[in-house]
Amino acid sequence: MVSPGRAPRRIGPFEVPAVGLGCMNLSHAYGVPPTPEDAEHLLRTALEEGVTLFDTAALYGFGANEELLGRALAGHRDRIVLASKCGMTGVNGQRVIDGRPETIRRTADEALARLRTDVIDLYYLHRVDRQVPVEESIGAMAELVETGKVRMLGLSEASAETLRRAHAVHPIAALQNEYSLWSRNPEQGTLAAAAELGVALVAFSPLARGFLTAEPPDPASLVEKDIRRNMPRFGAANYPANLGLRTQLEGIARDAGCTLTQLALVWVLSRGGHLVAIPGTRSVDHLRENMSVLDLDVPSEAVDAAGQVLNAATVHGARYNETTLAEIDTERCGTAG
């Protein structure tokens, strides 16, 4: 049996449950966000359900997501590990990658004010700026640790080589990369490198951007600002074939006595004791389903079978379009991006 269990997993000096909460979709990227009241209710329910790792970024809602967490979690700061990101922000309504030291310092001060806190527990470089050596960006972030504004540093969408370069400048506590049944990029180097260096691998989009939930997205119904509209896997040329793979996974989950969501999360968490998953959701029911995997036992045969059905070799389409892939430092999985 595969059992993620309730034993905490480590991110630097902190211990957290194996499942945290990615907060992006409460303000950003997936069409019309929920009302502030509904979003705050979701965050407070997450606290009640045992979530302690909350993940946001300056980019999400161009600051609105940090403000949301600042409001909703006020008074609970000592109960949570608060993570945010710099190096990619909104400028005049456009997403801009900017890893210059002066920008990082300014973004951190803005984040502290929006989050209503004196210190950010985990601060990621959201994207590696190809115009700025990662050593310079991490050097500026290390200054934030020295001045007490940040407790530990992380990288996001970064390769094993970049992780090693950054780690040589200042210890990196966490590497946040996309990891799910259909996005296997960490298996090209970062999964092993993180384990070797004592770095937590924080898996974002472990449910394949909603594809591995009870209600997979209908590409034809996605609103204009939903980023999945530009992701090849959700395109007309690839999505029907991917749905066929999903049907096979549903059968495996059914035979194993769990939901597809639970099977997908257990698979991610089984990849190593240094894995932490941060699925995002707007639904309290889905939040509780995600957290339920901590008390779940799934037959190892089912977990192995899921990985054989959906993987980098079987998925149809890349995880991003070529323009976005060119901005990202992670290793690619052949044509799967």
So which residues are the catalytic ones?
A: 60
Residue 172 to residue 164: CA distance in whole angstroms? 9
Burial 13-44 (b: 16+ CB within 10 A, else e): ebebbbbbbbbbbbbbbbbebbeeeebbebbe
Which 3 state secondary structure label does DSSP give 86?
Answer: strand
Which 3 state secondary structure label does DSSP give 176?
Answer: strand
Sequence-distant (6+) residues with CB within 8 A of 332 are 185, 188, 325
Question: Which of the 8 DSSP states describes residue 226?
Answer: B
Which 3 state secondary structure label does DSSP give 209?
Answer: helix
Q: Which residues pair with 155 in a beta bridge?
A: 125, 175
Nearest Cα to Cα of residue 177 among 3, 14, 332, 334: 332
**H or E stretch at 46:** helix 36-48
